[in-house]
Chain A
Amino acid sequence: MPSFTYTSAVDGGRAVIRGRGYLSRAGGEELEREVQRLLGEGVRSFLVNLRDTDLINSVGVSILIGVIEQVRQHGGELAFSELTTVNEEIFRIMGLHRHARLLREDGDAPAGEVKA
């Protein structure tokens, strides 16, 4: 369980951020800064891949909610992909699925990507 790290790449106007490790307050804030930076560069479409984020706490998720709000205020959209089972459960308990799409795979089509 290393501390949270991420990679970020922009391709075709969409930013793909891949997180790894423990998404706590510090990790959430790092991710928030990265999204803010990309928003400043004009990016409006975000995909946060959490396949390798094996642990999340409620503070980290709460920060993600704020990130979603910021993206929306800029007219953008943000989706999460490849959540672990328990992380998806946490997202649903905290209501993130009402604000952002949860994709099974990065490349899932919009119509079929939302996990029921």
Chain B
Amino acid sequence: VGAVTADRGAGRVDEVDRLLAQRPELPRLAGLLRALRRGSGASLVVSGPPGSGRSAILRAWEAQILEGQGVVPLPVAVPAAGLGPDAVAARMVESFAAGCFSFRTGAAAAEAGPDAQGRLGAVWPEAALALAETAQRLARPRAGISPLLEASLAPSAVALRTGLPVVCLVDDLDRIADAGGERAGGWSPEAALSRTAPCVFTCRSGTSLERILGPAAATVRRVELGPLPEGTALQFLRRLVLAEGAELGAEAREAVLELTGCWPQYLPVLVRAVAAHGAPGILEVAREYGASVASGELAAGWSARLAGEMPSRGLRGAALDLLALCLREGFEPADAGRIAALTFRGEAEVEEALAGLERAGVARVDCRLVRVVPDPVLRDVVRALHRREFGGARPAAVAAAAAAEAVRSIGASASRRRREGLRTALRAILEAWDGREVPAVLFDAAAFAARFPGGGGDAAGGGLGAEEEQVRLPRVAAAASGRIGVTTSPAGLEMDAVAWGWRGDPGEEGGEVAWAARFLPGGEGTATALREFDRDVAALQAAGDLPGERVVRWAVLGAPLDAAGAAAAAELRVATSTLPGVRALAALLELDLAVPDPAPAAARADLEVELTLPAAADAELVAARALEQIAEMAALPEAEVGRVRTALIEACINAFEHSGVPGARVRLVFTVAASELRIRVENRGRPLGAAALAAGSGRRRGWGLRLMRELMDRVELEPREDGVTLVMTKRIASGEGA
């Protein structure tokens, strides 16, 4: 008996096989098999949907037949693709020899070594001769004949010559045929069937037997299996994954993907299973994820938590599998990209990287310089997404979403750090209040703007005198930042700083006072934000988290008040200060403090993001999406974003085309300065030739550089020894994005 397993190998999942073989159709199929072995029945084709148990039934039959005959299986694992005839023959000989030794000596298959064929010859010359001839034939394949199909039939041919009773079991006939090409040349399926033995094939539902077997298809009996009962399939899936050990093998992965394609409801199970064998710590998170999928929601926090559990490349590989499954499950590319970005690059990692850069002196304390170079993790994601090519055209979209998310998280992280820097400064200022008097204009942004139309940068340098109207600051006992109170709703009750103290002497009856400070970006919408601020303070007062009587609302503004904001501040009696005013206050208090601006418009200066892309189809979309995020952080007008995006796409395509090395990568560096956005595109490979540089010279190519020059303010080419660097610049006009 020869059993050929096309892609999964035999004997690795015996328990699963037994499980799957318990199908209601089995008794009937067993009857057909018995008839076949008696020579009174036609060859069988067992077809069914993926995961319906076709292969398991075949393996169960194999064991059943061999058990009855007192012989052992002769497994030949033929990979679905990628091996030439020589390798197929060698593998077949090795496997066959191993099985023969087991049969003859009863020893374990491990006894078979490199000299297995030689030893086989000593004990079973006929089999060795047949194998040698088969190997010889396979090494000189006839044109158009599938070597894999030849190999699949060879064991039974050998068995025939050696006189063994034989039924040829061929798993995944359709895949073997697909891998080996169309039937052609002199191969005759009828002859193949007749010269070997009765066959039992398996194939997927819908497979055209006529295509593979030709007229011989009419001589076989086809049995279609129904879908497997859910409970059985569930167990199969879990055990299949777990049976593969620490690394989910490519074959199992393919099988699992195939299965989950049929049964989407098993995704949570698969996630748990992968998590269980890959990283026990992920299990809990995966359960939550499974629950969120079951309830139809994507739990917002699960992927972020998952990120912390993915420290190694092996686990990242598992994560990519999860991502593939997300795609198969119909997640939107943006969601899948977000999962990828968070999985591979958690916020904690970004924070840690920034802290390291600060320590190294690369980033300043106020985090205005965010430099993330290189970005190997994101590079890996993008490359892996393209390499795997799952989901058809989706890899680029997913990679693009991942890149955009990564860039966004860089910006958000920087913004948070700047906000934290402002909070630290505000706390220090409040803690320095000791009852002294300071100019009242520092707490009236409208008056401050009128007094210092240039922005107030000189206010701290002696611009405010003792003749100013003064206000007395309280004596502050303590200051804090963050969420205030435990009895109120957590939403919207964050304060950038809160101080408690006394208007006069500490402890004086009725003299308690509090200041609540919140940063507002300023500009349009400030009036609404001021009212929200007022409501939040009132809620804290009502809950007893702030004193009920005397709480000063202090809005720290990132931009001057507009008319509506000034009116709202006056109506609500909110103290307002611009950042220059706060800096002036710090100077008056003799505090040496950095008072950073957390607002994106002010934070756009000195942002640098690096992205490495594979020279692959549609990879330019990744750059485009990253650019969109960067442009938003740079407050680039929408019309300009479209122009820069098109220029960037042209630059990427050019770089891809001139990266003459397989697996080449293109390095992009986006730099946002106060007045410009600069993009460097570096490729390695052939230098750009004159034809490529000639603007608009070709019918289909050659327009790229012309477009770049039309759409950007400046385009420069810097040839290098190993490639070209293209630098494009777009000016950001003053006032844009303010």
Interface residues of chain A, those whose CB is within 8 Å of chain B, are 1-3, 22, 24, 26, 55-59, 61-63, 65-66, 84-86, 89-90, 93-94
Does A85 lie within 8 Å of B703, measured CB to CB?
no
How far is the CB of B545 from the nearest CB of chain A, in Å?
47
* B392-435 at interface with A (beta carbon < 8 Å): 393, 396-397, 400
Which chain B positions have C-beta within 8 A of A3? 393, 396-397, 618
Residue B706 at the chain A interface, CB threshold 8 Å: yes
Bound together, the chains give a CA A104 to CA B625 distance in angstroms of 27
- Chain B 310-351 per-residue mask, 1 if CB under 8 angstroms from chain A, else 0: 000000000000000000000001000000000000000000
A-B contact pairs, 11 of them (CB 8 A): A3-B618, A22-B621, A57-B620, A57-B649, A58-B650, A58-B653, A62-B700, A66-B700, A84-B642, A85-B642, A94-B707
- Give the top 7 A-B pairs by smallest Cβ distance, nearest first: A86-B642, A58-B703, A3-B393, A62-B700, A93-B710, A57-B649, A1-B621
Contact A86:B646 (CB < 8 A) given known A3-B393, A3-B618: yes
Chain A residue at minimum C-beta to C-beta distance from B400: A1
Does B393 lie within 8 Å of A57, measured CB to CB?
no
Which chain B positions have C-beta within 8 A of A89? 643, 710-711
Does A57 lie within 8 Å of B650, measured CB to CB?
yes
Chain B residue at minimum C-beta to C-beta distance from A2: B397
How far is the CB of B632 from the nearest CB of chain A, in Å?
16
Contact A93:B397 (CB < 8 A) given known A3-B618, A55-B624, A58-B650: no
Which chain A positions have C-beta within 8 A of B706? 93
Residue B699 at the chain A interface, CB threshold 8 Å: yes
Bound together, the chains give a CA A17 to CA B650 distance in angstroms of 25
Residue B704 at the chain A interface, CB threshold 8 Å: yes
Residue B696 at the chain A interface, CB threshold 8 Å: yes
Interface residues of chain B, those whose CB is within 8 Å of chain A, are 333, 393, 396-397, 400, 617-618, 620-621, 624-625, 639, 642-643, 645-646, 649-650, 653, 696, 698-701, 703-704, 706-707, 710-711
How far is the CB of A51 from the nearest CB of chain B, in Å?
14
Bound together, the chains give a CA A73 to CA B199 distance in angstroms of 58
Q: Which of A24, A58, A85 has a CB less than 8 Å from the CB of B704?
A: A58
Chain B residue at minimum C-beta to C-beta distance from A93: B710
Q: How many A-B residue pairs have CB under 8 A?
A: 66
Interface of B is mostly: helix
Contact A61:B703 (CB < 8 A) given known A2-B393, A3-B393: yes
Does A24 lie within 8 Å of B699, measured CB to CB?
no
Which chain A positions have C-beta within 8 A of B639? 85-86
Contact A62:B703 (CB < 8 A) given known A57-B649, A86-B646, A94-B696: yes
Bound together, the chains give a CA A21 to CA B600 distance in angstroms of 30
Using A3-B393, A3-B396, A85-B639 as known contacts, list a sample of 12 further A-B pairs with CB atoms less than 8 Å apart, ordered by residue number in A: A1-B625, A2-B333, A2-B393, A2-B397, A24-B618, A26-B617, A55-B649, A57-B620, A57-B646, A59-B701, A62-B698, A62-B701
Q: Which of A22, A58, A66, A84 has a CB less than 8 Å from the CB of B707?
A: A58
Does B645 lie within 8 Å of A55, measured CB to CB?
yes
Which chain B positions have C-beta within 8 A of A57? 620, 646, 649-650, 653
Which chain A positions have C-beta within 8 A of B393? 2-3
How far is the CB of B665 from the nearest CB of chain A, in Å?
20
Q: Which of A1, A26, A59, A84 has a CB less than 8 Å from the CB of B624?
A: A1
Bound together, the chains give a CA A86 to CA B639 distance in angstroms of 7
Which chain B positions have C-beta within 8 A of A93? 706-707, 710
Bound together, the chains give a CA A3 to CA B704 distance in angstroms of 20
Bound together, the chains give a CA A95 to CA B356 distance in angstroms of 51
Chain B residue at minimum C-beta to C-beta distance from A95: B696
Bound together, the chains give a CA A56 to CA B653 distance in angstroms of 12
Chain A residue at minimum C-beta to C-beta distance from B617: A26
Does A59 lie within 8 Å of B707, measured CB to CB?
no
How far is the CB of A84 from the nearest CB of chain B, in Å?
7
How far is the CB of A100 from the nearest CB of chain B, in Å?
16
Which chain B positions have C-beta within 8 A of A94? 696, 703, 707
How far is the CB of A20 from the nearest CB of chain B, in Å?
13
Which chain A positions have C-beta within 8 A of B704? 58
Does B653 lie within 8 Å of A90, measured CB to CB?
no
Chain A residue at minimum C-beta to C-beta distance from B698: A62
How far is the CB of B679 from the nearest CB of chain A, in Å?
16
Which chain A positions have C-beta within 8 A of B617? 26
Chain B residue at minimum C-beta to C-beta distance from A84: B642
Bound together, the chains give a CA A3 to CA B620 distance in angstroms of 12
Bound together, the chains give a CA A59 to CA B700 distance in angstroms of 5
Does A65 lie within 8 Å of B646, measured CB to CB?
no
Bound together, the chains give a CA A59 to CA B643 distance in angstroms of 16
Does B700 lie within 8 Å of A63, measured CB to CB?
yes
Bound together, the chains give a CA A56 to CA B620 distance in angstroms of 12
How far is the CB of A101 from the nearest CB of chain B, in Å?
21
